[in-house]
Chains A and B, each alone.
Chain A
Amino acid sequence: NAGVTQTPKFQVLKTGQSMTLQCAQDMNHNSMYWYRQDPGMGLRLIYYSASEGTTDKGEVPNGYNVSRLNKREFSLRLESAAPSQTSVYFCASSETWLSSSYNSPLHFGNGTRLTVT
């Protein structure tokens, strides 16, 4: 099993450009998440989808939109990229929306490293 697959692995954008980060999981998990990782700041939740058909804002949603395309896929869109969005983006999934549940840990993809110039 591949687990959580993210594409692309690397991307460079100019300020104002748009792009979509793709994520797919093959573990039949109900919940999916987008995090960003910045040096010295840990991982911060951008958006999450508790189940197919629902999405909600996390800690840092400004400048992003998401789509839960089906149970497997959850995409993150930057409509007008800004240098402040330079980061490593991680998609994650869990069996239930209780991401902190003892029996439902987060499974992360390998990330997309995005640079906005």
Chain B
Amino acid sequence: QQQVKQSPQSLIVQKGGISIINCAYENTAFDYFPWYQQFPGKGPALLIAIRPDVSEKKEGRFTISFNKSAKQFSLHIMDSQPGDSATYFCAAGMDSSYKLIFGSGTRLLVRP
């Protein structure tokens, strides 16, 4: 029940295309869903986050879509750029806890 399942493991997209990464969870107590972005040789950094009271959150080219009934959420990167090439981790947590459960990561490559 504590797992967060992330797919795909890797993704190749052409410049200008849309990148979509999906995550699913089981624990309905989760109420915080962040995405972290990690460049090679660096630590992860918070990219965007959502709470389950909204179905979508957009920040620039990055959008989180959230489906509470299906217990799924996804990251959409519009107009993908080579500079977006990185590993992306979804995560889930509870606002009353230290615990943040990470997905297994998706390695995104955006080709020029």
Contact = CB atoms under 8 A, between A and B. Distances in A.
A42 B105 contact: yes
B96 A98 contact: yes
Contact of B100 (A40, A100, A110, A111): A100
Contacts of A41: 104
| B: contact size bracket | 20 to 34
A99 B32 CA distance: 10
A111 B45 CA distance: 12
Nearest to A50: B98
B95 A42 contact: no
Interface in A36-58: 40-45, 48, 50, 56, 58
Interface of A is mostly: loop
Given A41-B104, A42-B105, A101 B95 contact: yes
Given A48-B98, A92-B43, A100-B97, A43 B89 contact: yes
Contacts of A74: none
A104 B41 CA distance: 24
Interface residues of A, number: 28
B32 A90 contact: no
B49 interface: yes
A111 B39 CA distance: 12
Contact of A40 (B46, B97, B98, B104): B104
Interface of A: 4, 31, 33, 40-45, 48, 50, 56, 58, 90, 92, 97-102, 105-111
Given A42-B102, A99-B93, A99-B99, 13 more contacts: A42-B104, A43-B102, A50-B98, A98-B95, A99-B98, A100-B93, A100-B95, A100-B97, A101-B32, A106-B44, A107-B45, A111-B42, A111-B43
